[in-house]
Structure 1
């Protein structure tokens, strides 16, 4: 099953699950309880912490939920904040960080790179969390729409439609969709 976020980030071949960590967790859990898929492929946009370029495609099976407070040493968590899928077929290019907030501090977010975290997407950590609970193989494919800086939102809006087209073409080239 191919899934995506929702609202303005939908695709005709993917089922929307919601925006952010909470909506995605609730809706995907409900999906798994009533009609558990054999696999999950999450597709969507991402912001780059600096190494990935605009319109780069990133495949991953690892996600984190590392808030900015961790980087400034003003917060901690007793929870696992990095997850990896057991999916043997997914490439594992980079860790995708998830939060309900979009990062806009370029200087601070470059520190994510020190932890192997390369991009951010609001939903992927929830997708991995639910998939692990239901023992479903999972992977994600992302297209970079912006950098995590003061222009993050404007660049996302400017690049979003083209990014969705690039991602769709990539999925066709990889024979994931027709």
Structure 2
């Protein structure tokens, strides 16, 4: 099953789950309780902490939930804040950070790179946590719309429609490759 966030980030071949960690966790849990999918593929936009360029496609099976305060030692969590459905230990995933906030402090965001976290997407951590709870293989495909800097929102708005087109082409191509095997 292919899922996406919703609101202005929808695709005709994906089921919207909600925006942010809470909406996506609630709605995906509901879906899994009543009609458990065999596989979950989340698709969406993402911001880059600096290594990935605008309109790059990034595939991952690993997500984190690290808040900006953690980066300055202003907060801690007793919870496991990284989850992965990657079973191929030879493949290193780009870690996708999820928060209900978009990072706009470029210098602080660079600290994510030191933790091997490459991009951010608001929903992916919740998707992988639900998938883990229901023992469902899952992954994500993202198209970069912006860098995590003071222009993040404006760049997201400027690049979002094109990123959705690129993402749709990529996902449909990958589906075609997988179904022709």
- The reply to whether TM is greater than 0.5 is yes
Q: RMSD of the alignment, in Å? A: 1.4
Aligned partner of 2:60 in structure 1 is 60
Aligned counterpart, 1:98: 98
TM-score (norm 2): 0.94
Q: Where in structure 1 are there 5+ consecutive unaligned residues?
A: none
Shift of 1:64: 0.0
Q: Deviations over 1:26-75 (max 9, x none)?
A: 00000000000000000000000000000000000000000001101100
CA distance in 1, matches of 2:39, 2:93: 19
Alpha-carbon separation, structure 1, partners of 2:109 and 2:26: 28
Q: 2:159 maps to what in 1?
A: 159
Between the aligned partners of 1:92 and 1:146, the Cα distance in structure 2 is 23
Aligned residues: 176
Unaligned runs of 5+ in 2: none
Moved over 4 A (4+): none
1:29-178 → structure 2 map (5 Å cutoff): 29-88=29-88, 92-175=92-175
Please tell me whether the aligned partners of residues 47 and 121 of structure 1 are also in contact (alpha carbons under 8 angstroms). Answer: yes
